[in-house]
Chains A and B, each alone.
Chain A
Amino acid sequence: MISEKKRRFLDAPLLVIFVLLFSFLESVASEDFIFSEAFVGLEGGNVYPVGSVQEAVEQSFYGQAEFRYRYFDATYGLVQFGYAYFKTHSDFKLYPGVHQFHGRMGLDHSFPVIHPILLGFGFSCVWTRADTKVDKLDNSPGSSLEDNESEFGVFLNLNLPVFKNENYVVGVNAYMEQIWTLPARSHMFWMGVYLQRRLW
Chain B
Amino acid sequence: MPFLFLILVGISFAAVPFETEGMEASGRSDGTFLMASPSYFYDRALGEGGVHAQSALWTPMSYTQRLILDRYSMLPSWEVQDPAVWIQTGNEIGDMIYQDLITPQKERPTNRVPMLEAGFRSPSYRSFWATARLFQVDHFSSNTLRLNTKVAGSMNYAHFGSNLPAFSTAYAGFGYSGVKNEAYLLVGKEYLWLFGESGRWVSTLASPKVQARYRHPKMDIFWSYDFLEFQNKKLKEEGLRKEWKGSIYFPYASECEKKDFEIGGGIDFRAVKDSGDVYFGLKDNRVFWAFMQMDYLILDNLSFKVHAGMNERDWLVKDSLEFVATPFAFSTLLWGYQNLWATRLNPMADSYEYFDSDTLKLFTDSYLQLHKIYARWKHSKDSWSLEFSPFAWAEYGAESFDTTAFKKVNKNTWYRLGNRSRVDSWIYSAGAKISLAYWFGNWFDVQAKTGFERIWGPKEFLEVEPIEKFLSIEANWTLKKTLQVSHSWHYRSQSKWNLRHPETFEVPSTWFWNFSLSQLFPKQGLRLTGTVLHLLSDNILEVPNGNINHTRFFATIKKDF
Q: Please list the residues of chain A having a beta carbon within 8 angstroms of any beta carbon in chain B.
A: 5, 8-9, 12, 14, 18-19, 21-22, 25, 28-31, 34-35, 49, 52-53, 55-57, 86, 88, 92, 98, 105, 123, 125-126, 128, 136-137, 139-152, 179-184, 186
Tell me which residues across on chain B come within 8 A of A141, comparing CB atoms.
100-105, 108
Q: Does B153 interact with chain A (Cβ within 8 Å)?
A: no
Check if B482 sits within 8 Å of A149, measured CB to CB: no
**Which B530-560 residues have a C-beta within 8 angstroms of A?**
530, 532, 535-536, 538, 553, 555
Check if B535 sits within 8 Å of A14, measured CB to CB: yes
- Whole-angstrom distance from the CB of B245 to the nearest CB of chain A? 34
Stretch at the interface among B123-131, B254-262, B406-414, B515-523: B515-523
Check if A139 sits within 8 Å of B536, measured CB to CB: no
The chain A residue sitting closest to B479, CB to CB, is A28
**Which B121-166 residues have a C-beta within 8 angstroms of A?**
146, 149, 155, 161-163
Tell me which residues across on chain A come within 8 A of B101, comparing CB atoms.
55-57, 88, 92, 141-142
Please encode chain B, from 85 to 126, with 1 for each CB lying within 8 Å of some chain A CB and 0 for all others.
000011101111111111111011101101000000000000
For the complex, give the distance between the alpha carbons of A53 and B99 in Å.
7
* A-B pairs with lowest CB-CB distance, top 4: A182-B94, A56-B101, A56-B98, A151-B95
For the complex, give the distance between the alpha carbons of A14 and B532 in Å.
9
Known pairs A128-B97, A137-B149, A151-B97 / 16 extra A-B pairs, C-beta < 8 Å: A18-B7, A28-B479, A28-B480, A28-B483, A30-B480, A56-B100, A125-B555, A136-B162, A140-B105, A141-B103, A145-B100, A150-B89, A152-B91, A181-B99, A186-B97, A186-B99
**What are 9 A-B contacts defined by CB distance under 8 Å?**
A5-B536, A28-B479, A28-B482, A52-B102, A53-B98, A140-B105, A144-B111, A151-B95, A182-B99
User: Most chain-B CB neighbours within 10 Å: which of A125, A141, A145, A179?
Assistant: A141
The answer to whether A35 and B97 touch (CB under 8 A), given A139-B108, A152-B91, is no
Check if A180 sits within 8 Å of B93, measured CB to CB: yes
CB contact between A142 and one of B100, B149, B521, B530 (< 8 Å): that residue: B100
Tell me which residues across on chain A come within 8 A of B111, comparing CB atoms.
144, 149
For the complex, give the distance between the alpha carbons of A128 and B115 in Å.
15
- Whole-angstrom distance from the CB of A117 to the nearest CB of chain B? 24
The chain B residue sitting closest to A105, CB to CB, is B528
- Whole-angstrom distance from the CB of B154 to the nearest CB of chain A? 11
Tell me which residues across on chain B come within 8 A of A55, comparing CB atoms.
101-102
Check if B103 sits within 8 Å of A12, measured CB to CB: no
Check if A150 sits within 8 Å of B114, measured CB to CB: yes
For the complex, give the distance between the alpha carbons of A182 and B386 in Å.
43
For the complex, give the distance between the alpha carbons of A34 and B519 in Å.
11
For the complex, give the distance between the alpha carbons of A165 and B427 in Å.
78
Q: Does B456 interact with chain A (Cβ within 8 Å)?
A: no
The answer to whether A183 and B483 touch (CB under 8 A), given A56-B98, A150-B89, A151-B93, is no
Q: Please list the residues of chain B having a beta carbon within 8 angstroms of any beta carbon in chain A.
A: 3-4, 7, 89-91, 93-105, 107-109, 111-112, 114, 146, 149, 155, 161-163, 479-483, 485, 515, 517, 519, 521-524, 528, 530, 532, 535-536, 538, 553, 555
Check if B482 sits within 8 Å of A22, measured CB to CB: no
For the complex, give the distance between the alpha carbons of A181 and B102 in Å.
12
The answer to whether A181 and B482 touch (CB under 8 A), given A14-B515, A18-B7, is no
User: Most chain-A CB neighbours within 10 Å: which of B100, B102, B523?
Assistant: B100
- Whole-angstrom distance from the CB of A14 to the nearest CB of chain B? 6
The chain A residue sitting closest to B116, CB to CB, is A150
For the complex, give the distance between the alpha carbons of A64 and B255 in Å.
63
Tell me which residues across on chain B come within 8 A of A128, comparing CB atoms.
97-98
For the complex, give the distance between the alpha carbons of A115 and B76 in Å.
51
Tell me which residues across on chain A come within 8 A of B555, comparing CB atoms.
105, 123, 125, 152
Check if A126 sits within 8 Å of B521, measured CB to CB: no
Check if A147 sits within 8 Å of B98, measured CB to CB: no
CB contact between A22 and one of B4, B146, B515 (< 8 Å): that residue: B4
CB contact between A179 and one of B97, B103, B530 (< 8 Å): that residue: B97
Tell me which residues across on chain A come within 8 A of B161, comparing CB atoms.
147-148
- Whole-angstrom distance from the CB of B318 to the nearest CB of chain A? 43
Tell me which residues across on chain A come within 8 A of B99, comparing CB atoms.
52-53, 56, 181-184, 186
Check if A35 sits within 8 Å of B521, measured CB to CB: yes
- Whole-angstrom distance from the CB of B479 to the nearest CB of chain A? 5
The chain B residue sitting closest to A88, CB to CB, is B101
The chain B residue sitting closest to A24, CB to CB, is B483
The chain B residue sitting closest to A53, CB to CB, is B98
The chain A residue sitting closest to B3, CB to CB, is A22
- Whole-angstrom distance from the CB of A68 to the nearest CB of chain B? 15
The answer to whether A183 and B96 touch (CB under 8 A), given A28-B479, A123-B555, is yes
Tell me which residues across on chain B come within 8 A of A180, comparing CB atoms.
93-94, 553
- Whole-angstrom distance from the CB of A128 to the nearest CB of chain B? 6
- Whole-angstrom distance from the CB of A72 to the nearest CB of chain B? 10
For the complex, give the distance between the alpha carbons of A150 and B100 in Å.
13
User: Most chain-B CB neighbours within 10 Å: which of A31, A49, A92, A146?
Assistant: A31
The chain B residue sitting closest to A9, CB to CB, is B536
Check if B96 sits within 8 Å of A181, measured CB to CB: yes
Check if B96 sits within 8 Å of A34, measured CB to CB: no
The answer to whether A98 and B482 touch (CB under 8 A), given A12-B536, A125-B89, A183-B109, is no
Tell me which residues across on chain B come within 8 A of A148, comparing CB atoms.
114, 161
For the complex, give the distance between the alpha carbons of A151 and B90 in Å.
8
Check if B162 sits within 8 Å of A147, measured CB to CB: yes
Check if A30 sits within 8 Å of B97, measured CB to CB: no
The chain A residue sitting closest to B1, CB to CB, is A22
Check if B482 sits within 8 Å of A30, measured CB to CB: yes
Tell me which residues across on chain A come within 8 A of B485, comparing CB atoms.
21
The chain A residue sitting closest to B482, CB to CB, is A29
The chain A residue sitting closest to B162, CB to CB, is A147
Tell me which residues across on chain B come within 8 A of A145, comparing CB atoms.
97, 100
For the complex, give the distance between the alpha carbons of A147 and B162 in Å.
7
- Whole-angstrom distance from the CB of B543 to the nearest CB of chain A? 22
Check if B3 sits within 8 Å of A144, measured CB to CB: no
The chain B residue sitting closest to A122, CB to CB, is B530
Tell me which residues across on chain A come within 8 A of B149, comparing CB atoms.
137
For the complex, give the distance between the alpha carbons of A86 and B107 in Å.
23
- Whole-angstrom distance from the CB of A96 to the nearest CB of chain B? 12
User: Most chain-B CB neighbours within 10 Å: which of A125, A147, A149?
Assistant: A149
For the complex, give the distance between the alpha carbons of A142 and B104 in Å.
10
